[in-house]
Amino acid sequence: MALRQIGVGAMGTTPSQPDIDDGTRHLNMMLAQWQRRRWLVPNLVDLFCISTGASRYNVGPGQAFDMAVRPDKIEAAYARLLNNGGSPSAVGEFDDSDFSSDFYLGSDGLSGGQGPIDYPLTIIQSYEDYAGIGLKGLRTWPNYAYYEPSYPIGRFMPWPIPPAGMWEFHILVKQPLPVNLGGDEAINLPPEYWDAIMWCLAARMAPSYGQEASPTVVACAKAAMNTIRTSNTQIPTLGMPAILTPSGGGFWWPGLEIQKL
């Protein structure tokens, strides 16, 4: 369908196999670009691993944080304190049973035990900032985390380094998009992506056939992308440096001081 928007295979003709193969390569390259843009990814996924006392944890296929493609960055992170050596999460998602005393069993096997507690980790945004930490081997309660997007395996570095078995690290990353599709494979994405893929792929492939994408193709591609952007946009609450906040804390928004009262 993308080829037909630029006149290839139109009027009842059939595109050649080389045309289909080239279009599939363009499709995979386009989706590989899309998966790095937060507003083009359908959702975030929550990955977790148990602390082992190590200073770094690998992120990628078959690693401590197991995912098909190593992420370019992590959107957020938190550490879950496993009370009394509690059991780790069955899945990496938020689970009501982890926080409600009605569902969590205490050490006596009866309801009413205290569930694990989550603590947000401040993301260190650059390796230069991480390098500036004087005592990188400090071992105590974790407060910060740095993610090194090395390829093909990324590395998650909590700081300070917590003891083994007491903590469960969680990272929020963009859900990987399919980037190794064959010419006859289905694209497992929400329906609103189909229109965007067709028009954007048509605009991307037009130069291969010695033409510029028509104004209609460009306009339809922009409209489809705006639909996805509107659907996927999530804006987190603004955080500010502690020195700039009236409360002296690292996280503040107007009215927070009232809520603390």
Q: Is residue 59 within 8 Å of 156, Cβ to Cβ?
A: yes
Q: What is the model's pLDDT at position 63?
A: 93
Determine the Cα–Cα distance for residues 53 and 10; give it in Å rounded to an integer.
61
Tokens representing residue 22 in the block: 């080239």
| pLDDT at 121 exceeding the cut of 90 | yes
Nearest-angstrom CA–CA distance, 47 and 45: 6
Summarised one tens digit per residue, pLDDT across range 243-258 is: 566 655 555 555 554 4
Convert the pLDDT of each residue in 185-217 to its tens digit.
888 888 899 999 999 999 999 898 888 888 999
pLDDT at 208: 87
Pairing of strands 117-124, 144-148: parallel
Would the CA dihedral through 246, 247, 250, 251 be positive or negative? negative
- Report how far Cα 156 is from the mean position of its chain's Cα atoms: 14
**Cα gap 64→69, rounded to integer Å:** 13
76 bridge partner residues: 172
Q: Give residue for tokens 């309801």.
A: 111
Structure tokens given for 258:
């009232």
Using CA atoms in the order 239, 244, 250, 256, what is the torsion angle rounded to 10 degrees? Answer: -70
Kindly state the tokens that stand for 35.
């998966």
* Residue 46: band (very low, low, confident or very high) from pLDDT cuts 50, 70, 90: very high
CA R_g for the chain:
24
- pLDDT tens for 141-183 read 999 999 999 999 999 999 999 999 889 999 999 988 888 888 7
Kindly state the percentage of the chain with pLDDT values over 70: 77
Whether the CB-CB separation of 34 and 213 falls below 8 Å is answered with: no
Region 66-87: mean pLDDT is 82
Residues, the chain: 261
Render 10-29 in DSSP notation, one character per residue.
-TT----HHHHHHHHHHHHH
